């Protein structure tokens, strides 16, 4: 579950805070688990919700600009660190893009549910995902061009 919470933050310390708060909620509401679906899935949902609450209260979800993305430097991609580099690129997305990308592409939430969780419109969720994908594609294409040179 640390990996789940880490996907929504920029540091392990923030992820650990989310995780500990999430498990407190798990233990306080264990009697609400009805045995339907997997127990791990139930916990994951609580951790994801805790991460969203953390972002909502500690950060402003949709304030970061596209320019923040371009301020990060990266080494070129190579076969040994492709996956780690891509995770790093996702980690550096503006927080709103990163949150929607994680909820949709990694967690599998539909846009309607993302919109409800984040308190935004479905269109905003779709727009944030599209912008996140475009940023990732641009950055990966740029790194691949460097690699081929």
Q: How far apart are CA 91 and CA 72, in angstroms?
A: 11
Co-location of 49 and 75 in the same domain: no
Q: How far apart are CA 15 and CA 33, in angstroms?
A: 24
Segment 57-85, tens digit of pLDDT: 876 555 444 444 444 444 444 544 567 77
Q: Which domain CATH number covers 90?
A: 1.10.10.10
The predicted pLDDT at position 65 comes to 46
The predicted pLDDT at position 61 comes to 58
Nearest to 97 by CA among 125, 138, 118: 125
Residues ≥6 apart with Cβ < 8 Å to 128: 62, 96, 97, 99, 100, 101
Note the pTM of the prediction, 2 decimals.
0.70
Select from 27, 42, 59 the last residue of a domain.
59
Percent of the chain with pLDDT over 70: 79
The region that residue 108 occupies, defined by phi over 0 for left and psi between -120 and 50 for alpha, beta otherwise, is left
The half-sphere exposure of 136 on its side-chain side, counting CA atoms within 13 A, is 23
Number of folded domains that form the chain: 2
Co-location of 106 and 67 in the same domain: yes
The predicted pLDDT at position 72 comes to 46
Phi–psi pair at 37, nearest 5 degrees:
75, 180
Has residue 51 got a pLDDT over 80?
A: yes
The predicted pLDDT at position 58 comes to 77
Nearest to 88 by CA among 72, 68, 100: 72
- What average pLDDT does range 92-107 have in this prediction? 92
Q: Which domain CATH number covers 24?
A: 1.10.1740.10
The predicted pLDDT at position 73 comes to 45
Domain with 112, as residue range(s), is 62-149
The predicted pLDDT at position 67 comes to 47
Co-location of 84 and 126 in the same domain: yes
Exposed (0-12), middle (13-18) or buried (19+): which is 62, by Cβ within 10 Å? Answer: middle
Segment 127-142, tens digit of pLDDT: 999 999 999 988 887 7
Co-location of 51 and 68 in the same domain: no
Co-location of 26 and 75 in the same domain: no
Secondary structure of residue 73 in the 3-state scheme: coil
Co-location of 30 and 67 in the same domain: no
Other CB atoms within 10 Å distance of the CB of residue 82: 14
The predicted pLDDT at position 41 comes to 92
Co-location of 37 and 77 in the same domain: no
Co-location of 100 and 30 in the same domain: no
Co-location of 21 and 66 in the same domain: no
Co-location of 18 and 36 in the same domain: yes
């Amino acid at each position: 579950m640390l990996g789940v919470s880490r996907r929504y933050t920029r540091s392990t310390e923030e992820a650990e805070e989310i995780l500990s708060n999430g498990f407190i909620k798990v233990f306080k509401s264990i009697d609400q688990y009805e045995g339907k679906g997997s127990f791990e899935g139930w916990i994951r949902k609580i951790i994801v919700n805790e991460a969203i609450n953390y972002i909502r209260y500690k950060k402003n979800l949709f304030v970061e600009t596209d320019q923040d993305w371009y301020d990060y430097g990266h080494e070129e991609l190579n076969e040994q660190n492709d996956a780690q580099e891509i995770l790093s690129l996702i980690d550096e997305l503006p927080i709103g893009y990163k949150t929607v990308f994680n909820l949709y592409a990694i967690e599998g939430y539909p846009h309607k549910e993302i919109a409800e969780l984040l308190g935004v419109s479905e269109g905003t969720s779709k727009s944030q995902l599209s912008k996140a994908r475009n940023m990732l594609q641009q950055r990966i294409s740029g790194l691949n061009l460097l690699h081929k040179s």
